[in-house]
């Protein structure tokens, strides 16, 4: 049985994780961490310093500003850390990378298996299409999402950019009177209502348009991916920075 310590257990995704984990008989939530704890079947700690139970994997679905505390706990326990929060700064990303030299850390901008399969596909097709197609990314999320563009949009954009040999740059939305430059990769964010998460990658050519799209209908898709990551990381003992490619064998 893999024992999970769930950070952000009282939040939206924390609740979804608790509902979905019954589909994973080899996993169990043994405790949680949340500044605003709600009534629960397991013990909830208000901060990482109070954690005094044994666990196998620390799963985080809280906020980016909890990173340093989570890394401190992971440094103490040496147990794998699965980071599912978004909105990390460049400084945070550097800290994660540096910490992964001594700790087993999993990080993905999106826990959906479908998004990660699309991301893998983008590595292959972007170099083939770039010369004859303009590339644009549109992402849509609910009106409570605080970071923009989404971490997933940036994940997809970075994959496209890194797979193309030519120099490219990001344009976030457009305003004014200026023709599109060939080197642009457009990234556009929409916020409204209760949209769980839509992402569309457009390759617009002369006479045809190729579109790859993914719509998250329920937050359960992220929970399933996160729990699969926990199953994978429970068997990891070597320090390093892991992602969904490792979980999916890509």
Q: Is 110 annotated as a binding residue?
A: yes
Q: Is 226 annotated as a binding residue?
A: no
**pTM over the 0.85 mark:** no
Cis omega (within 30 of 0) on the bond before 28?
no
13/8 Cα distance (integer angstroms): 8
- Residue from 47, 80, 62 nearest 9 by CA: 62
pLDDT value of residue 86: 82
214/69 Cα distance (integer angstroms): 33
pLDDT category of residue 244 using cuts at 50, 70 and 90: very high
Q: Is 161 annotated as a binding residue?
A: no
Residues recognised as catalytic: 141, 145
111/86: higher pLDDT: 111
pLDDT value of residue 246: 94
Q: What is the pLDDT averaged over residues 186-208?
A: 97
Distance of CA 25 to the CA centre of its chain: 24
- Residue from 43, 71, 41 nearest 58 by CA: 71
Strands lying side by side in the sheet with 43-45: 43-45, 27-33, 2-7, 57-60, 81-83, 104-107, 240-242
pLDDT value of residue 146: 86
- What are the pLDDT digits (tens) for 107-142? 998 899 999 999 999 999 999 999 999 999 999 999
DSSP label of 21: G
| 8 A C-beta contact, residue 104 and residue 230 | no
């Amino acid at each position: 049985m893999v024992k999970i310590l769930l950070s952000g257990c009282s939040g939206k995704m924390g609740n979804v994780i608790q509902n979905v984990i019954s589909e994973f008989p080899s996993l169990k939530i043994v405790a949680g961490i949340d500044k605003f704890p709600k009534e629960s079947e397991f013990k909830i700690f208000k901060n990482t310093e109070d954690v005094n139970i044994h666990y196998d994997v620390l799963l985080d679905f809280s906020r980016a500003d909890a990173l340093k505390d989570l890394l401190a706990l992971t440094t103490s326990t040496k147990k794998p850390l699965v980071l599912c929060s978004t909105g990390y700064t460049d400084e945070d990303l550097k800290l994660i990378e540096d910490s992964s030299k001594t700790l087993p850390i999993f990080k993905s901008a999106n826990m959906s298996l479908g998004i990660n399969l699309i991301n893998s596909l983008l590595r292959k097709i972007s170099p083939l299409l770039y010369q004859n197609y303009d590339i644009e990314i549109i992402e849509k999320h609910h009106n409570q999402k605080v970071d923009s563009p989404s971490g997933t949009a940036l994940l997809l954009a970075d994959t496209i950019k890194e797979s193309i040999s030519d120099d490219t740059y990001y344009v976030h939305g457009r305003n004014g009177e200026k023709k599109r430059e060939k080197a642009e990769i457009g990234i556009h964010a929409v916020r409204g209502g209760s949209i769980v998460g839509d992402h569309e990658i457009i390759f617009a050519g002369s006479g045809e348009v190729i579109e790859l799209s993914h719509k998250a209908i329920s937050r359960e898709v992220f929970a399933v991916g996160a729990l699969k990551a926990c199953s994978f990381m429970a068997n990891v003992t070597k320090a390093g920075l892991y992602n969904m490619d490792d979980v999916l064998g890509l």
